[in-house]
Structure 1
Amino acid sequence: MQSDARKPSRKGRSRRLGIAANAPQNSAFLGPRRIGAYNLLDEESLVRIEAQADWLLRDIGVEFRGDDVACDLFRAAGADVQGARVRFESGMARQLCATAPAQFTLHARDPRYTVQLGGDHLVLMPGYGSPFVTDLDRGRRYSTREDFHNFVKLTYMTPWLHHSGGTICEPVDIPVNKRHLDMVYAHLRLSAKPFMGAVTSPERAADSITMAQLVFGQHFMDHNCVMQGNINVNSPFIYDATMSGALRVYAAANQCVAISPAIFGGAMGPVSPAAIAAQTLAEAMAGIALSQLVRPGCPVVFGSFHSTMNLKSGALTFGTPEANLVTMVLSQLGARLGVPVRSGGGQITAANSADGQAMQDSSDAMWATLLSGTNQVWHAAGWLEGGLTMSYEKFIMDCDHCGMMLRLLGGMAVHDEALPEAPYHEVDVGENFLSTTHTIKHFATCNYQPEIAEAGAYEIWLEKGALTAEQRANQRWKDMLANYEEPAMNPDIDAALSEFIARRKDSMPDAWY
């Protein structure tokens, strides 16, 4: 990483990028967390899981289909490469992963939103990859560019999400081969938080890198991480040329690759939580190893997208105890591997509406995620239908819950102001403390103030229209969008981005699949 002495100053870079001073506030809690991670497994159990992962890499192996460059890199490093199948002697993959940083800085366009990934730090981001959106007014429908813009704006405005995300929802009204340009531009222009680029082809990954370089400068990006790419493993044990090619593009540019095996017990792996954890570790280590062969020291995140299935129907289930156990163990395994961890949890659910099931599934998954000690939480807001749909109302409800969880993880202050004596002298025994100097001083900040939860009397609730939490959230997202203010950007940079997008779009015909 570039030393502080060589980095451009925050003030100087903000001026160059055209950042305004009135940006929305980020969360008061960005870590380090005050509630420690819960270690589910003991040393003996963790060693057994790691041994299983080594066995899988040695005897089963991982295929890098259609990527001769990746296979050549592994062969040169000493791996056993037969066709597209790569096998590693015990301990080799872990050794190749050793050059990945345990913690790194993810720089934002506005330095006030820059975050740390790794250690005790926690970064929350919205849902990812949904082709549909839903709200109480228009119902479920295919998402559009407008929806994508709306969720980028909402994510920028909430203090409880630290990262703009990636494909928050799929804008299906833009050709497939061109929509990455619009999505990356939206993250860069409508937000100033960290973001993710495209991974649906190596060329689209390269476009994302180029657009970021127009904003941050190539020299800055050569020495600093400003974006991430989500590399999904085709579990079990396959990296296709699209994913491994995109991985190599991001790694070569010194940008973060998040390696995310996707294992659903009974489909892409065995049903037991321990087996899912071991297979996830094996598949992830292969991808992390490739990133380090491309560029030693490239920042990575050990990710996962795992869950259980209803083995009677084949339907995916989320927030289940078995999946949550895997979430907790993967954070332990990631810490031992020495890299930041992206949780497989978040506020995820298979429910079709923002109802009681949705919030119960989401709360269960989020609790396990946060207690695990993970560093980055995807799908922290908006997720419905197993990821098929982004809900405007659930996004708001989830953000409210994120604020509560962050307040909890921020811990309890124990100092003179938190243990006052004066209030006890201001009131007599049996009297309340509402009017004491201490209460007046702290009443506005002492408790987390939820925006959606209703704590009033039943009669007052009726007078206000007996609105449900989902209905209150409906009005909240509309109010937020009405009050959105676009973050400033240097006009020359904006013009360069627009010119690049126009030129790239003109260079290719529309493709809708």
Structure 2
Amino acid sequence: MPAQTDEAVKTSGEKKPAPRDGRRGRKARRAQRAEGHAAAPAFITRRIPYYELLSEEGLQKIDDTADTILQEIGIEILGDPTALDLWRAAGADIQGERIRFPRGLVRRIIQATAPRSFVQHARNPARSVTIGGDSIVFVPAHGPPFVSDLEGGRRYGSLEDFRNPIKLAYASPWIHHSGGTICEPVDVPVNKRHLDMVYSHIRYSDKAFLGSITTTERALDSIELARIAFGQEFTDENCVIMGNVNVNSPLVYDGMVTEVIRAYAAANQGCVISPFILGGAMGPVTSAGAIAQAHAEAMVDVALTQLVRPGAPVIYGNFLSSMSLRSGAPTFGMPEPAVAYLAVGQLARRLGVPLRCGGSLTSSKVADAQATQESADSLTPALLSGANFILQAAGWLEGGLVMGYEKFVMDADHLGMMHSFMKGLPLDDNALALDAFREVGPGKHFFGCAHTMANYETAFFDSELADSSSYEQWRDNGKQDAVKRAHSRWTATLKSYEAPPLDQALDEELQAFIRNKKDAVEDAWY
């Protein structure tokens, strides 16, 4: 279990003195958020313990099962002879494109050189995030081809739709990372859109971001844009961009995936290795078997990064989900994957690597009660498991097919609540509040006492979306439900958005690289 730390949340900037009254304090806090979150947390440092689900004997059973899968059945890497050669040299048995691993080989490679934690640097150093240990990084939705909002409805994403969530994430004090493919901008050719996406993360935010992984060339372009933004020398020595890749479960890696992994690792940039297993389709219906499969799959390419470049930053990813065995549709927020997350967290700590889990997941088509229930029931076990990098933390709808604008800001508000939750229970003199008891005495209220006035800005989470007014106030304000309030929130945020500063010469260099790359190839829409 993690040690209790003195500071629950790492922040930048100075704390403002408390105003004299609560109304002014609330106004000041909201004004500060609207001004670009100058004191936004860079990441959360957890102060609650991990949930230890399994005994040492149980963990060993899963480890042994994963080793047996790797030794007897093996993993296929299709179309990447270089990756096969790396594994052959490391001592694996290669038959065609099937790799079988001596027991313990993969684990030894990981534990020898993979970092337990690392920093992904942001363009603004105050936004850099630590990934691993007791840190938690919230990251937006990743990969949807569609977007939706209350007025525009469900539609294919555009470049504007891609940039808008970047701006919303930049404006949110509760989202630590700009993410990657928050939605697919289908109005840009497939072979060129990665350039606009990476540039948009650099131009419209100064938080850390993910690059492209769809082909090796696009991964290399992403890394080169990062080198321009951060400088060649700095990029060679530090992680400034990462790629999130999935396994072709069960037990297959497409060669393009391993080529992309090798490209990021060779450049000393981060890889997030994520098996995506729907129980009953890409893995067994039993959770223990699916966990063992995911453990085996993730370990292989976590280890591959270390064969390419020992010490390369890497995250052990996990995306386990259930499915409806009647229809074949994926389901989210269900109890079985929630329990699985807890076990996966223990396996990652045992292995000694940072952990990625899914976040605010739902099958719902709109931001309704189902969406909030499933999202909360997906996010909470990820937090309790010890996940360090929580992808899909904001905006996910319809099983990952849709990035929802209202859902994005509703999720962000919930993430703010989780910041407070992860602080745990402080037990210092201020928290125990004896001075307040001495001042107030029996039978009086604490509302205006010195202790309350000194703590009122930070004592409770102050939701910007929840409505705690009286019925009459709510009625007179238009009877707005949560979705309508969220719609007003994101539209107002975009109207007040101001881009972070970017050096003009650097911007011109980025755009020149993009023009040259685009001019060199014909548009491809597939």
Shorter chain as denominator, the TM-score bin is: over 0.9
Which residue of structure 1 aligns with residue 500 of structure 2? 487
SS at match of 1:30: strand
Q: Give the superposition deviation at 1:443.
A: 1.9
Taking a change above 3 Å as real, the CA distance of residues 415 and 233 of structure 1, as seen in their structure-2 partners, is same
Query: In the aligned structure 2, how far is the partner of 1:265 from the partner of 1:427?
Result: 57
Maintained 8 Å contact 1:128/1:167: yes
Maintained 8 Å contact 1:251/1:295: yes
Which residue of structure 2 aligns with residue 433 of structure 1? 446
Which residue of structure 1 aligns with residue 360 of structure 2? 347
Q: Do residues 63 (structure 1) and 76 (structure 2) align?
A: yes
SS at match of 2:131: strand
Maintained 8 Å contact 1:61/1:237: yes
Question: Of the candidates 80, 92, 107, which is equivalent to residue 121 of structure 2?
Answer: 107
Question: Of the candidates 268, 278, 281, which is equivalent to residue 295 of structure 2?
Answer: 281
Query: In the aligned structure 2, how far is the partner of 1:306 from the partner of 1:416?
Result: 43
Taking a change above 3 Å as real, the CA distance of residues 175 and 416 of structure 1, as seen in their structure-2 partners, is same
Structural mapping, 1:29-178, within 5 Å: 30-98=43-111, 99-178=113-192
Q: Do residues 385 (structure 1) and 403 (structure 2) align?
A: no
Q: Give the superposition deviation at 1:238.
A: 1.0
Which residue of structure 2 aligns with residue 310 of structure 1? 324
Which residue of structure 1 aligns with residue 203 of structure 2? 189
SS at match of 2:94: strand
Query: In the aligned structure 1, how far is the partner of 2:451 from the partner of 2:109?
Result: 56
Maintained 8 Å contact 1:26/1:160: no
Query: In the aligned structure 1, how far is the partner of 2:56 from the partner of 2:179?
Result: 35
Deviations 1:214-239 (A, max 9, x none): 01111111111111101111001111
Maintained 8 Å contact 1:318/1:386: yes
Query: In the aligned structure 2, how far is the partner of 1:83 from the partner of 1:470?
Result: 54
Deviations 1:25-70 (A, max 9, x none): 3644734210011011111110000001001111111111000110
SS at match of 1:418: helix
Q: Give the superposition deviation at 1:425.
A: 4.3
Amino acid at match of 1:111: P
Taking a change above 3 Å as real, the CA distance of residues 426 and 67 of structure 1, as seen in their structure-2 partners, is same
Stretches of structure 1 lacking an aligned partner (at least 5 in a row): 1-9, 11-21
SS at match of 1:296: coil
Query: In the aligned structure 2, how far is the partner of 1:420 from the partner of 1:283?
Result: 50
Question: Of the candidates 362, 376, 379, which is equivalent to residue 363 of structure 1?
Answer: 376
Query: In the aligned structure 2, how far is the partner of 1:230 from the partner of 1:444?
Result: 37
SS at match of 1:160: coil
Q: Give the superposition deviation at 1:23.
A: 5.0
Identity %: 51
Q: Give the superposition deviation at 1:95.
A: 1.2
Deviations 1:404-425 (A, max 9, x none): 0111101232223223344334
SS at match of 1:196: coil
Q: Do residues 322 (structure 1) and 336 (structure 2) align?
A: yes
Which residue of structure 1 aligns with residue 9 of structure 2? none
Maintained 8 Å contact 1:58/1:87: yes
Query: In the aligned structure 1, how far is the partner of 2:239 from the partner of 2:165?
Result: 24
Query: In the aligned structure 2, how far is the partner of 1:222 from the partner of 1:444?
Result: 42
Maintained 8 Å contact 2:123/2:208: yes
Maintained 8 Å contact 1:26/1:162: no
Structural mapping, 1:222-241, within 5 Å: 222-241=236-255
TM-score by length of 2: 0.92
Deviations 1:100-153 (A, max 9, x none): 101111111100001111111100010000000000011100010001110000
Deviations 1:339-360 (A, max 9, x none): 10001x3110001110000100
Taking a change above 3 Å as real, the CA distance of residues 336 and 421 of structure 1, as seen in their structure-2 partners, is closer
Amino acid at match of 2:208: P
Amino acid at match of 1:436: C
Amino acid at match of 1:390: M
Maintained 8 Å contact 2:213/2:244: yes
Deviations 1:64-101 (A, max 9, x none): 10001101111111110111111101001111212110
Taking a change above 3 Å as real, the CA distance of residues 84 and 26 of structure 1, as seen in their structure-2 partners, is farther
Query: In the aligned structure 1, how far is the partner of 2:42 from the partner of 2:142?
Result: 23
Amino acid at match of 2:249: S
Q: Give the superposition deviation at 1:338.
A: 0.9
Structural mapping, 1:2-17, within 5 Å: none
Q: Do residues 291 (structure 1) and 298 (structure 2) align?
A: no
Which residue of structure 1 aligns with residue 476 of structure 2? 463
Which residue of structure 1 aligns with residue 22 of structure 2? none
Query: In the aligned structure 1, how far is the partner of 2:468 from the partner of 2:234?
Result: 49
Q: Do residues 512 (structure 1) and 508 (structure 2) align?
A: no
Maintained 8 Å contact 1:277/1:326: yes
Query: In the aligned structure 1, how far is the partner of 2:491 from the partner of 2:331?
Result: 31
Which residue of structure 2 aligns with residue 496 of structure 1? 509
Maintained 8 Å contact 2:70/2:101: yes
Query: In the aligned structure 1, how far is the partner of 2:452 from the partner of 2:316?
Result: 44
SS at match of 2:147: strand
**Larger deviation, residues 178-187 vs 437-446:** 437-446
RMSD between aligned residues: 1.3
Maintained 8 Å contact 1:29/1:406: no
**Larger deviation, residues 437-446 vs 52-61:** 437-446
SS at match of 1:307: strand
Which residue of structure 2 aligns with residue 24 of structure 1? 37
Which residue of structure 2 aligns with residue 454 of structure 1? 467
Maintained 8 Å contact 1:195/1:228: yes
Deviations 1:177-226 (A, max 9, x none): 00000000001111111100000000000000000000111111111111
Which residue of structure 2 aligns with residue 473 of structure 1? 486
Query: In the aligned structure 2, how far is the partner of 1:198 from the partner of 1:119?
Result: 26
Which residue of structure 1 aligns with residue 8 of structure 2? none
Amino acid at match of 1:452: L
Amino acid at match of 1:214: I
Amino acid at match of 1:454: D
Maintained 8 Å contact 1:26/1:113: no
Amino acid at match of 2:194: H
- Residue-pair matches, total: 492
Deviations 1:285-326 (A, max 9, x none): 111111111111111000022200100111110010001111
Which residue of structure 2 aligns with residue 204 of structure 1? 218
Q: Give the superposition deviation at 1:431.
A: 1.8
Amino acid at match of 1:369: A
